[in-house]
Amino acid sequence: MHRQEQLVRRLLLATEQMVQGGLSETARRCGNPNCICQRDPERLHGPHLYITYHENGKSCSLYVPSQRNLGPLFDIGQRLKLLRDVPILAVSSEILKLAEDLITEGPIPRKAAGDAAHIAIATVYGCEYLLTWNCRHIANAELHRAIRRVVEQYGYEVPSLCTPEELMGEEQ
């Protein structure tokens, strides 16, 4: 149920920003270098729906889970109830500087500045975990050492950067 709540929250946040955008269906490769989708171009993940929207002058996309996966949480009353106590985190100059250094001194490419900001916000606010499906720039074990090196220069500890499956472990 917690994973469903997170998905609904992300969708609602994206729709608040969706002044101009659209809905598209696509199949994609994931960021896992060992996945079959990396070796066989015919075996992509999907089809999946994505909302595309503009934020800060950039085009963004957000995965839209099927309604059957959302179940009763797709009800507007439930969505509003979920968001009632969700704090909005202010972005400080320190967060912006850390995000910039994750790009200039670390492993995050400039085109993924949003990912650097995501890591910086979770770090400065002392989050224990940063859960993401982004295996290219965030939940990527090959990048963790370089991310940690930059973050520790600021005196912070890096949150555990992982996918929900990694956090929850295997279902028994």
**Domains in the chain, number:** 2
When pLDDT is averaged across residues 81-93 and rounded to a whole number, the result is: 77
Lowest mean pLDDT of 14-23, 53-62, 145-154, name the range.
14-23
Predicted pLDDT at 21: 53
Q: What is the pLDDT of residues 122-163, one digit of tens each?
A: 999 999 999 888 899 999 999 999 999 999 999 999 999 998
CA dihedral in degrees (19, 24, 28, 30; nearest 10)?
A: 30
Rounded average pLDDT over 15-38: 68
Average pLDDT over residues 57-81: 60
Residue 148 domain boundaries: 93-168
Q: Verify that 148 and 130 share a domain, yes or no.
A: yes
Shared domain check, 77 and 9 = yes
Q: Of 49, 83, 117, which one is at a domain's C-terminal end?
A: 83
Pair (74, 105) in one structural domain: no
List Cα–Cα distances, 148 to 23, 105, 130, in angstroms. Answer: 36, 11, 14
